[in-house]
Chains A and B, each alone.
Chain A
């Protein structure tokens, strides 16, 4: 067999189109000892994209803690896997689909869900839940309304049809995301195979199987598209957005899990970014072997495709398997029963190369490692101090702000801020309960809670169906305004808030998956943000004992407005999971009964208006410093909250976040359809923001027990706030005569209508 023919060296324009820099090209030539042909260059272009190889971020990710007693699989596989006890193992991972969603919100978001679910079931885990973290520009702009509606509809379409409940997440609105929305999807699954399925190929002579849907020209070069800035011209890149088919994915889930249980599968890899290229190269490189493939055997949905198109297609719902030799027929029959393709397209070979044939010719022959391990790394110098503009913002004088007279109106205005307001408009479109495991529904608590149980039963007489009482809590969090003003502290605050939200349902936080959404790493201030945020995540995860099991990096989140690049707020979203020992003992955020006593845990530092929602919504300002974080206090408060819930002392728990304590209390009232009376020092204590605080409620008969226990556990770092009342929300201040007083029904109306009211305006025609 002859080596592939090499065309004349590629023009600079070719390289630019493929987003390969001249330096990278020189590196490729050096690695190969020859020029790559066009197919090979195409493969390098996607494999060496930031999306696939993390060339800019990898040096910074090294600081993350990644091991721990509960960590079974850390970064590097399709998803992380943790041991949650009772023999249950959970796979989970987060991934972004920001750029596709900006161009085609419905399919962009839908395929984001499909992609992350494939990462989960590729490991041998049945997907049991998804969450998502979404960010858009203000809803006053019709373009943002169209993106918001389209993304939510896309997530709903895919998740509902594939039959995986969407149980939680977060949605923020800010000008910074206009034109560059963030769509991060997190998948969670419970292992249904005895062995975790890995992706490294092995067994020389073993057959390589292509399974799932057909290959077409959709999603060409999506990975490199995702690794560049969006521009006005990006909408012309619609072919770079994939099209999802959740029905096929549902069948693929069932067929793959069944296939893994037969023991006939050696390794599996989903075809996500860079499709056949990425899956074959990674399986070969991880196994230290080679893969030989014949494109003529690949099932296609259109004719006349070139090798380049086969290799770069990102058609969805496809996987690559290595099977045990001799068992391929069994697997093919299984997949065909589910109406899916399963075809032997190649073989595992000794020589560590990826060799691709098309019409009898070798069209690619590359060392597998050249595409993966040898990808470039760009460690960059990190600014030694914050950029001047950020320093100016941090030093903003917040002591001379005009003082509002009507604090009730301030509360209404904050509840009307879409970032704070009810997200019912969103989650009502998601099936939250399919699979019959959802213990805590969206909106009811600070985190989702699911019962965790394998569901391996299938066609035929069904044996015992054990239900169990062990659960998992999950959340995604990030306040990107905090990160913008102080990336190190902001990232730590995101980790702390995620853990706090888990603790508010009574769960013990155990592990993290992170999605780093940042601007161009080629800009010193963006790279500084990334470096500082990574340092913050690492330090907080180490302190809270929640190792990072993997995640995703999405850089170049910038939009060109009038030729001027505008970066998004740095947004390291933190997906975190925690163990619920007994799903009968969980916490929700709603007040339960009039007469219950309300307490605040974690009283130490004074809340700040810096980086607050109050400052943004009421004064139109972004500045100051985000809240200080004391990780020891954080751990203590969270432990107390968890114990209080599990012991049945706390009847509700809700963390203090955007909008401050008053908003947190109003939310507990709205959710419980109850009012309260409370006394605070001053409006700053009520509307400033702070870390490590949780508002809880307890029965009046438990007063003595609760208060002496809190003193024992927290010393003086807690205090009583007030009492739950039937209908009226009343907060008075020690230092000012104005108070807050409103019927909870009115607050509810403002809070519930904020998003529907804005979405009732017509959206721009979706052209």
Chain B
């Protein structure tokens, strides 16, 4: 079981992921430079948060053209796990590996906060350690995290249960007040139809270390370790 963490110039949550996978969970982890073309040694590829290439165009719009993204797409096509967190989600949607787009937050401000999420599915490699419907508290930190998709796409996402995490209040209710950025249907994270590609704006890696006082994100990584160790 091995994690790979993609590093673009401007990535800044790469070490945060490594801190969890290698530091807390003691799993083999490789940091992968954006010019590399082979990620096949890794079971799970994580595209971390940050501002890839500065994100001066649209978030993730340049990163999708980097050499490593061809390898990541290939990894996904083979049914292996690809996780995009924050900027990683933006890169995955720009790359077409996930539907929809992330646009500027409703209030046009960057928002850093701890929010409640409902785990909509626990049958995925990265959610098995949660219970279905469990409400967890995970940090967010983004300026462009408002999930948008056209009506048909949205309907399709819901019909095929591709919404994995949804912003809710602490009771698990989907309310407008619980939506930190204006995302449609309070969407915080979605997967592809096969479930092996996930994109999410919240940062589970920032809620994994007991020393920092929050651990609701740790089961996300533990699920992967457990599921993939079996394979």
Q: Which residues of A are interface residues toward B (Cβ below 8 A)?
A: 153, 156-157, 160-163, 245-248, 250-251, 338-339, 427-439, 451, 455, 457-462, 464-467, 469, 583-584
Give the distance in Å from the alpha carbon of A163 to the alpha carbon of B51 in the complex. 9
User: Is A428 in contact with B112, judged by CB distance below 8 angstroms?
Assistant: yes
Q: Does A455 lie within 8 Å of B15, measured CB to CB?
A: yes
Main secondary structure of the interface of A (DSSP, over half): loop
Q: Could you list some 12 contacts between A and B, CB below 8 A? A: A162-B12, A248-B54, A428-B111, A428-B112, A429-B109, A434-B13, A434-B206, A439-B212, A462-B22, A466-B23, A467-B19, A467-B211
Q: Determine if B60 is an interface residue (Cβ-Cβ < 8 Å).
A: no
Given A459-B32, A462-B22, A465-B22, verify A156-B110 contact (CB < 8 Å). Answer: yes
A460: which B residues are within 8 A, CB to CB? 30-31
CA distance A469 to B212 in the complex (A): 10
Cβ B9 vs Cβ A161 within 8 A:
no
- CB pair A429–B31 under 8 Å, yes or no, is no
3 cross-chain pairs, A with B, having the tightest CB-CB distances, nearest first: A163-B12, A247-B54, A465-B23
B30, A461: Cβ atoms closer than 8 Å: yes
B141 and A160 contacting across the interface, CB-CB below 8 Å: yes
> Smallest distance from the beta carbon of B5 to chain A beta carbons, Å?
8
Contacts of B28 in A (CB 8 A): 461
B139 contacts which chain A residues (CB < 8 A)?
433
Q: How far is the CA of A583 from the CA of B50 in the complex (A)?
A: 26
Residues on the B chain within 8 Å of A153, using CB: 109
With the chains together, A438 CA to B203 CA distance in Å?
14
CB-based contact B18/A462 at 8 Å: yes
**CA of A438 to CA of B7 in the docked complex: distance in angstroms?**
22
Asked whether A247 lies within 8 Å of B56 as measured between CB atoms, the reply is yes
Contacts A429-B112, A436-B206, A439-B211 given; indicate if A160 touches B143 (C-beta within 8 A). Answer: yes
Query: Do A451 and B211 contact each other (CB < 8 Å), given the known contacts A163-B50, A428-B113, A465-B23?
Result: yes
On chain A, the residues within 8 Å of B43 by CB distance are none
Report the bound CA distance from A460 to B29 in whole Å.
8
Instruction: Report which residue of A251, A438, A457, A464 has the largest number of chain B beta carbons within 10 angstroms of its beta carbon.
Output: A457
Partner of A459, one of B7, B13, B24, B111: B7
Contacts A156-B110, A247-B53, A583-B211 known; A459 to B33 CB distance under 8 Å? yes
Give Cα distance in the complex from A430 to B111, angstroms: 7
Instruction: Give the Cβ gap from A411 to chain B, nearest Cβ, in Å.
Output: 27
Q: Which of A246, A436, A457 contacts B212 (CB 8 A)?
A: A436
B51 near A247 with CB under 8 A, answer: yes
Interface residues of B in 130-180 (CB under 8 A from A): 139, 141, 143
B38 in the interface, Cβ–Cβ < 8 Å? no
Given contacts A247-B53, A436-B209, A451-B212, contact A458 B9 (CB under 8 A): no
Q: What mask results when residues 106 to 118 of chain B are scored 1 for a CB within 8 Å of chain A, else 0?
A: 0001111100000
**Residue among A251, A434, A469 with most chain B CB within 10 A:** A434
Given A434-B206, A439-B212, A457-B31, 11 more A-B residue pairs with CB atoms under 8 Å apart are A157-B110, A247-B9, A247-B51, A250-B10, A428-B113, A429-B112, A434-B16, A434-B141, A455-B15, A460-B31, A583-B211
Does B10 contact A251, Cβ atoms closer than 8 Å?
A: yes
State how many angstroms separate the Cβ of A336 from the closest Cβ of chain B.
12
Across the interface, A439 reaches (CB within 8 A) one of B10, B19, B205, B213, namely: B213
Query: How far is it, in angstroms, between the C-alpha of A685 and the C-alpha of B179 when the chains are bound?
Result: 43
In the assembled complex, the CB of A129 is this many whole angstroms from the nearest CB of chain B, namely: 14
B12 / chain A contacts, CB cutoff of 8 Å: 161-163, 250, 434
**B22 and A431 within 8 A (CB):** no
Q: Who on chain B is nearest to A250 by CB?
A: B10
Which of A156, A161, A429, A459 touches B54 (beta carbons < 8 Å)?
A161
Residues of B with C-beta under 8 A to A163 = 12-13, 50-51
B residues near A (Cβ < 8 Å) are 7, 9-10, 12-13, 15-16, 18-20, 22-24, 28-33, 49-51, 53-56, 109-113, 139, 141, 143, 203, 205-206, 209, 211-213
Instruction: Establish whether residues A433 and B211, one from each chain, have CB atoms under 8 Å apart when the complex forms.
Output: no
> Total A-B pairs in contact (CB under 8 Å)?
119
Residue of B nearest to A247 (CB): B54
- Bound CA–CA A110/B22 (angstroms): 33
Closest Cβ–Cβ distance, residue B67 to chain A (whole Å) = 14
- Is B211 in contact with A435, judged by CB distance below 8 angstroms? no
Contact (Cβ within 8 A) A250 B9: yes
Instruction: Output the residue of A437, A458, A462, A584 with the most chain B CB within 10 A.
Output: A462
Min CB gap A252→B, angstroms: 11
Q: How far is the CA of A339 from the CA of B7 in the complex (A)?
A: 14
How far is B210's CA from A469's CA once the two chains are assembled, in angstroms?
11
**Contact of B31 with A436 in the complex, beta carbons under 8 Å:** no
Which one of B9, B13, B19 lies within 8 Å of A339 (CB-CB)? B9
Closest residue to A126 on the B side, CB-wise?
B15
Assess the A429–B23 pair: CB atoms within 8 A.
no
Contact call B51/A436, Cβ cutoff below 8 A? no
| Residues in chain B near residue A429, CB distance under 8 A | 109-112
B56–A436 touching, CB < 8 Å: no
Minimal beta-carbon separation of A431 from chain B (angstroms): 4
Q: How far is the CA of A160 from the CA of B140 in the complex (A)?
A: 12
* Chain A residues near B110 (CB-CB < 8 A): 156-157, 160, 429-431
- Contacts A247-B51, A247-B54, A439-B211 given; does A432 touch B112 at CB 8 Å: yes
Measured in the bound complex, the distance between the Cα atoms of B31 and A157 in whole Å is 26
Give CA–CA (A439, B212) in the complex, Å: 5
Contacts of A250 in B (CB 8 A): 9-10, 12, 50-51
A467/B209 in contact, CB under 8 A? yes
* Most chain A C-beta atoms within 10 Å of own C-beta, residue among B12, B28, B203: B12
Nearest residue in B to A450 (C-beta to C-beta)? B212
Cα of A464 to Cα of B19 in the assembled complex, Å: 10
Distance in angstroms from B35 CB to nearest chain A CB is 9
Name the distance in Å between B80's Cβ and chain A's nearest Cβ: 19
By a CB distance below 8 angstroms, the chain A residues around B205 are: 436
C-alpha spacing A584/B109, complex, angstroms: 33
Q: How distant is the Cα of A451 from the Cα of B19 in the complex, in angstroms? A: 13
B114 to chain A, nearest CB (A): 8
CA A585 to CA B85, docked complex, whole Å: 31
Q: Nearest B residue to A467 by beta-carbon distance?
A: B23
Instruction: Please name all residues of chain A whose beta carbon is closer than 8 Å to the beta carbon of B212 when the two chains form the complex.
Output: 433, 436-439, 451
A247 — which chain B residues lie within 8 A by C-beta? 9-10, 51, 53-56
Cβ distance A293 to chain B, nearest Cβ, rounded Å: 28
A247 vs B49: C-alpha distance when bound (angstroms): 13
Name the residue on B nearest A586 (C-beta).
B213
| A161 adjacent to B15 (CB under 8 Å) | no
Taking CB atoms, residues of chain A closer than 8 Å to B56 are 247
Does A433 contact B111, Cβ atoms closer than 8 Å? no
Q: Which of B7, B9, B18, B141 contacts A431 (CB 8 A)?
A: B141
Which of B20, B50, B54, B209 sits near A245, CB closer than 8 Å? B54
Q: Given that A467-B211, A584-B211 are known contacts, is A462 also in contact with B29, CB under 8 Å in the complex?
A: yes
Known interface pairs A439-B212, A439-B213, A467-B209; A161-B16 also in contact (CB < 8 Å)? no
How many Å from the CB of A321 to the closest CB on chain B?
A: 20
Q: Which residue of A lies closest to B16 (CB)?
A: A436
CA distance A437 to B53 in the complex (A): 24
Task: Pick from A245, A248, A436, A464: contact of B15, CB below 8 A.
Answer: A436
Q: Hey, which chain B residues are within 8 Å of A251, CB to CB?
A: 9-10
Which of chain A's residues has its CB closest to B206's CB?
A: A433
Inter-chain contacts of B18 with A (CB < 8 A) = 457, 462, 465
In the complex, chain B residues whose CB is within 8 Å of the CB of A462? 18, 22, 29-31
Q: Please state if A427 and B112 are interface contacts (CB–CB under 8 Å).
A: yes
> A80–B111 Cα gap in the complex (Å)?
32
For A455, the closest partner residue in chain B by CB is B15
User: Judging by beta carbons under 8 Å apart, are B51 and A435 in contact?
Assistant: no
In chain A, what residue has the closest Cβ to B52? A247
Chain B residues with CB under 8 A of A432:
112, 141
Question: Looking across the interface, which residue of chain A has its beta carbon closest to that of B41?
Answer: A461
Q: How far is the CB of A347 from chain B (nearest CB, A)?
A: 30
The residue on B at minimum CB distance from A582 is: B211
Which residue among A246, A250, A438 has the maximum number of chain B CB atoms within 10 Å of its CB?
A250
**Min distance, Cβ A198 to any Cβ of chain B, angstroms:** 27
Q: Could you tell me the distance in whole angstroms from the C-beta of B151 to the nearest C-beta in chain A?
A: 31
**Distance, CA A245 to CA B9, complexed state (A):** 13
